[in-house]
Structure 1
Amino acid sequence: MSIRIGIASLSGSLVLLAGCATIDLETDYVFDPALYAQVIDQTSDNYPEIDPLSLDDEIKQWLHENMEVDGRGEEYLVSTLQDLLYGEDFLNIQYSDAKTHTAVEIFHAREGNCLSVMNLYVAMARYVGLDANFQTVEVQPSWDRRGDLLVVSQHINATGRLSAREYYVVDFTPEIALQSMTESIVSDAVARSLYFNNLGVEALVAGETAQAMGYIKNALFIDPANSFAWNNLGTAYRRLDNEELAEFSYHFSFNLDKTNATAINNLVKLFRAQGDEERARQYASVIDRFNQRNPYFQYAQGRRAYEQGNYGAARLYFRRAVRLKPFEPSFHTGLAMVYVQLGELNLARDAREEAENVLAANSEIYRPSDRRLRIFDRNSILSSSSPGLTIQLRRGTPVEPAPN
């Protein structure tokens, strides 16, 4: 994945994002315009020379040499771009989460994360005349340890119209575990903000705190509503021992997004470091209650228990995840795995069938697959209230992400 939505210090409990579930927390936060002005202290984009979507003459010439740009239909253009980016005889781009690239950089590097590849795809698609936009998609959260930080990522892909009825979705890592029906088209400005947020997180991981501050502040100048960047800025301020602005940034992050459990978890650790145990306990208890109704937290706990061989606990967690969100096929698959280990083969078969039922009922909805390019007919998409989504059940998540 490739959008670095959240970071936190390694110590402390982990929390997972839970889609649209909000966190019920009354804070004593009061917006301070003076502190805001200290953070957003620039009047223009500080990196105008960096254009993640720019194509140089070499790339444009390469496109003309390897595809018919003029006079061809949209489906030809979309599928040909796939071959050019991923085909072994062409760029053959490979996944790497080490660095976020511009379109020109990843063309030459031949490796990068999802945001990097989508920079190149969107730029190329628009150059050949396709409608192309960035689209974020929530993923089942997982943590990546980077030194003393934990980093969680959000996924990003590209989409565009082919006709009044049809649209396409282009992925780089389609095998990741997505949350169903969570895709959202975002503007180029938002994508640019996410790009600088990524650079900031990468600089933080490398121990380059001053550089990280510059990148993250630029992300917030471009998109002040970027809750992820506010959280990450708070972590940068903690690195600089500026607890006042760290607390302000974490609170501002949560105020923008009431589902942002990472910001609250970071506040818990800040309060504990300050010796404010009362507020730390108050905020931690809210996170605990949030996790109890967070299906992805329950699923993550189930995976951990399964990997440790504690199949009884894993069964309990997976059952809770299914009860909280029955239309997530991986939850049923996890339950099936546990039943196999427990020798309950009939229940394992039932769980696998339920996973297949969910997949069949949502066959047109965006989900992981072995295809990087998918074309959809809008009229065939089921709404969340469609009877086709009903299945019969026999029985009754760490820090903040960045896009991939």
Structure 2
Amino acid sequence: MPASLTALAGRFTGPAWRRTLLPLAVLLLAACAQAPRTPTADAVLWADTTLGQPTQRPDTEAALRLDPALQAYLDQTLRPAARRQGGLLALYEALRASDIHVVYDASTTRTAAETFDARSGNCLSLVLLTAALADGLGLSVEFREVLTDTQWSRLAGLHVGNTHVNLALGPRPSPFASVLLAPPPMVIDFLPPEAAGKLPARRISRQRVLAMYLNNRAAEWLTQGDLATAHAFSLAALSQDATYPAAYNTLGVVFQRHGRADLAERAWRDGLARAPEHATLLANLAAALRAQGRLTEAQPLDAVLARVEGTAPFTYLARGTAALRAGDPAGARDWLLKELARDPDYHEIHFALAQAELQLGHPAQALVHLQRAGAESPRPELRSLYAAKAEHLRALGVH
């Protein structure tokens, strides 16, 4: 489903879409130990040569680098438009125009140049593309983390916690310009204007955004089973921002999958030293302690997690799918509706409900859920799958 761009500030408005989320924070079982060290010492201690050589070396500067095609677009299209109508309006119109319009795709976090080439990406990809072009136009760029509840998805056996980022643009400050006469900032976002304008956000540094990019890529390599490359990107993320808890979490999962429970525990404890209520770090550490029989140590972590997060993500979805496998579609539907009440927009819940409704003899309701699953899916291949199943029902006369 193509995404529409939102810009806020005076006349800069765009069509609505739906929520889009990222960066990735991986949740998985593992283990724990030791107090925080300096980032430099951590990089040395965590340099595990038994992981092998990475498939790809992290290139932090690539995130915002203009390749020849993007540089040519900036020089030949954007700058002339900026001279006619100002940099802010020129950039906004370019982002929503068909020649650079970005379609939402959560499967890969792309650099600015890759997003321009593919014309698709997640919200962080859009932020990188917009920031690179804004830098080229001499605009001021403020990166922002939108403060919403973590939304969860599942990928390659991992639970992925999704947060949301956007950015605010304005003219570059001048010592001679009056603050009172300065135009309001323009917020670029995939979210609809009414949502993007009302949700609270906090300013984050460029280093944090780069750490998010590197951590996203680490998590994506992790889902592909490439632990060496995931390890390299996790360390690169921490070298950009040693306070970013999600990077410690991903690093811990890498070590857990590599069989280094001691290093996984160290990474998670270091992350919790910086963010004591980070849900994924708490969950991983508590699960690891329980797996080692250290129940007394796990209990206070579980208590904090219950206060912070409540019921673990996908608990009801897991029970619902288990009921489907056991041949109990009515019970499955009850569990799935409870999960849907917590997250009405997650595609897997709607797909499971479609299966339950079909087994209960309600094809029309199943079609509704299939259509919703397709509309909410973040990945093109899943949208195609759900659309095919919905078309099959329509071919059978279901409406």
The alignment's TM-score, normalised by the length of structure 2, stands at: 0.63
Deviations 1:49-68 (A, max 9, x none): 74211113332332344343
Q: Which among 150, 167, 189 is matched to residue 141 of structure 1?
A: 150
Identify unmatched segments of 5+ residues in structure 2: 1-19, 49-56, 172-180, 321-331, 346-399
User: Aligned in 2, Cα 1:245/1:38: closer, same or farther, shift over 3 Å?
Assistant: farther
In structure 2, give the amino acid aligned to 1:30.
A
The residue correspondences of 1:161-310 to structure 2 (distance < 5 A) are 161-162=170-171, 164=182, 166-174=184-192, 182-291=200-309, 308=333
Q: Which among 97, 103, 108 is matched to residue 87 of structure 1?
A: 97
Inter-partner Cα distance in structure 2 for 1:49 and 1:290: 33
The alpha carbon displacement at 1:47 in A equals: 3.8
Partner of 2:25, secondary structure, is strand
Q: 1:117 aligns to what?
A: 126
Deviations 1:225-264 (A, max 9, x none): 1111011111111011111111111111111012302111
Identity, in percent, stands at: 25
The alpha carbon displacement at 1:278 in A equals: 2.3
Q: 1:71 aligns to what?
A: 83
Q: 2:53 aligns to what?
A: none
Partner of 2:161, secondary structure, is strand
Moved more, 78-87 or 125-134: 78-87
The alpha carbon displacement at 1:38 in A equals: 3.7
Moved more, 223-232 or 180-189: 180-189
- Higher-helix-fraction structure: 2
In structure 2, give the amino acid aligned to 1:84.
A
The alpha carbon displacement at 1:123 in A equals: 0.9
Contact 2:151 2:163 in 1 (8 A): no
User: Aligned in 2, Cα 1:80/1:48: closer, same or farther, shift over 3 Å?
Assistant: same
Partner of 1:99, secondary structure, is coil
Contact 1:268 1:280 in 2 (8 A): yes
Partner of 1:132, secondary structure, is strand
The alpha carbon displacement at 1:143 in A equals: 1.4
The alpha carbon displacement at 1:41 in A equals: 5.4
In structure 2, give the amino acid aligned to 1:62.
Y
Identify unmatched segments of 5+ residues in structure 1: 12-26, 319-329, 331-404
Q: Which has the higher contact order (CA 8 A, sep 6+)?
A: 1
Inter-partner Cα distance in structure 1 for 2:221 and 2:210: 17
The alpha carbon displacement at 1:283 in A equals: 2.0
Contact 1:100 1:195 in 2 (8 A): yes
User: Aligned in 2, Cα 1:145/1:164: closer, same or farther, shift over 3 Å?
Assistant: same
The alignment's TM-score, normalised by the length of structure 1, stands at: 0.62
The alpha carbon displacement at 1:134 in A equals: 1.9
Contact 1:10 1:150 in 2 (8 A): no
Contact 2:268 2:281 in 1 (8 A): yes
In structure 2, give the amino acid aligned to 1:36.
D
Q: 1:6 aligns to what?
A: 25
Q: 1:57 aligns to what?
A: 68
Contact 2:25 2:160 in 1 (8 A): yes
Inter-partner Cα distance in structure 1 for 2:130 and 2:166: 9
In structure 2, give the amino acid aligned to 1:93.
V
Contact 1:114 1:173 in 2 (8 A): no
The alpha carbon displacement at 1:132 in A equals: 1.9
User: Aligned in 2, Cα 1:94/1:39: closer, same or farther, shift over 3 Å?
Assistant: farther
The alpha carbon displacement at 1:197 in A equals: 0.5
The alpha carbon displacement at 1:69 in A equals: 4.3
Contact 1:139 1:178 in 2 (8 A): no
The alpha carbon displacement at 1:224 in A equals: 0.8
Greater than 6 Å deviation, 4+ residue runs = 175-179, 310-314
Contact 2:33 2:265 in 1 (8 A): no
Partner of 2:249, secondary structure, is helix
Inter-partner Cα distance in structure 2 for 1:48 and 1:290: 35
Q: Which among 19, 30, 41 is matched to residue 35 of structure 2?
A: 30
Inter-partner Cα distance in structure 1 for 2:124 and 2:338: 37
Deviations 1:189-210 (A, max 9, x none): 2211111111100001111111
Q: 1:363 aligns to what?
A: none
Contact 2:33 2:269 in 1 (8 A): no
User: Aligned in 2, Cα 1:135/1:49: closer, same or farther, shift over 3 Å?
Assistant: closer
